[in-house]
């Protein structure tokens, strides 16, 4: 695996792979990689001949009170993870390389609709930062396919809309969330949890499972289910940011006739913000 730090080196390496007739797969990350990230790289390797990953902690997607300064940077360990997963090229740029004119005057990409509400409401400007950096990375790498995890369900919806609306020739693949044995979605931020918090954290996904089971059993009072779910999270020691039931394709509030649903949640354990979701199909009534 080659590691490069400049756009010029990145483009030269990708051009060489293209000249050899190889298709390009891409996995953008912020580093501090775990087995969930490795699964994305492995998927890219199944769908393309030459796999590029990026590691860039993007300042544009962090709010002023968020953990940009303390977000873990673990490049050496990440390089080993990527190598084992089958990555061919790592792009690890600096902030100056990504934003050479500075961030204040940076052209921004905004995706209306799916970016609103949920994490978009809790983290103003976050998805504009995501859409902007992903647009830049797509232009730099020019991949045939790009793989994203479904744990960030709203982010995946934003990127799908971005690619569709801007006619970008990139196939977006959503890879199922990788979980610990107790159900907790793997996340770089899980490392912030102490032992007691880590024992509580699986309650988030367990609550989503219970709500989905109730819907599958015929419950259609979504407001009642959400209230019950929030109460359960609070009782366990989590502080809900949001818990919502949405139609999974457009992320609009779910109606009783919708069949493709997703339950999305974010909650705090101490100062650590966890997110999760559960998408499922509801059987049509007989």
Catalytic residues: 37
Scanning the chain, the segments in alpha helix (DSSP H) are 7-19, 35-47, 75-85, 95-98, 119-122, 126-141, 153-165, 195-200, 203-216, 222-236
How far is residue 130's CA from residue 114's CA, in Å, rounded to a whole number?
A: 13
Question: In this structure, what token pair is assigned to residue 216?
Answer: 């599958």
Write the DSSP symbol of residue 283.
Answer: P
Query: Which region, left, alpha or beta, applies to residue 3 given φ > 0 means left and ψ of -120 to 50 means alpha?
Result: beta
Determine how many CB atoms are found less than 10 A away from the CB of residue 96: 9
Question: In this structure, what token pair is assigned to residue 120?
Answer: 């978009």
How far is residue 243's CA from residue 118's CA, in Å, rounded to a whole number?
A: 8
The contacts of residue 267 (CB under 8 Å, 6+ apart) are: 204, 233, 238, 239, 240, 241, 243, 273, 274
SS3 of 78-99: the string is HHHHHHHHCCCEEECCCHHHHC
């Amino acid at each position: 695996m080659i590691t490069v730090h400049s756009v010029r080196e990145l483009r030269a390496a990708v051009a060489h792979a293209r000249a050899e007739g190889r298709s390009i797969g891409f996995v953008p990350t912020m580093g501090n990689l775990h087995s969930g990230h490795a699964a994305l790289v492995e998927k890219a390797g199944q769908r393309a001949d030459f796999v590029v990953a990026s590691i860039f902690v993007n300042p544009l997607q962090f709010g002023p009170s968020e953990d940009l300064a303390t977000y873990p940077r673990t490049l050496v360990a990440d390089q080993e993870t990527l190598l084992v997963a089958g990555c061919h090229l790592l792009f690890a740029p600096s902030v100056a390389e990504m934003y050479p004119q500075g961030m204040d005057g940076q052209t921004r990409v905004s995706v209306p609709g799916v970016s609103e509400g949920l994490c978009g409401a809790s983290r103003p400007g976050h998805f504009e930062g995501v859409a902007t950096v992903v647009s830049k990375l797509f232009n730099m790498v020019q991949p045939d396919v790009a793989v994203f995890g479904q744990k960030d369900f709203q982010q995946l919806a934003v990127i799908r809309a971005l690619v569709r609306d801007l006619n970008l020739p990139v196939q977006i693949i959503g890879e199922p969330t990788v979980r610990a044995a107790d159900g907790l979605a793997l996340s770089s931020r899980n490392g912030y949890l102490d032992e007691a918090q880590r024992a509580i954290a699986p309650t988030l996904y367990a609550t989503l499972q219970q709500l989905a089971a109730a819907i599958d059993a015929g419950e259609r009072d979504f407001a009642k289910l959400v209230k019950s779910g929030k109460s359960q999270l609070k009782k366990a020691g989590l502080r809900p940011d949001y818990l919502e039931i949405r139609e999974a394709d457009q992320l609009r509030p779910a109606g009783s006739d919708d069949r493709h649903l997703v339950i999305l949640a974010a909650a705090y354990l101490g100062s650590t913000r966890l997110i999760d979701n559960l998408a499922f199909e509801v059987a049509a009534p007989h």
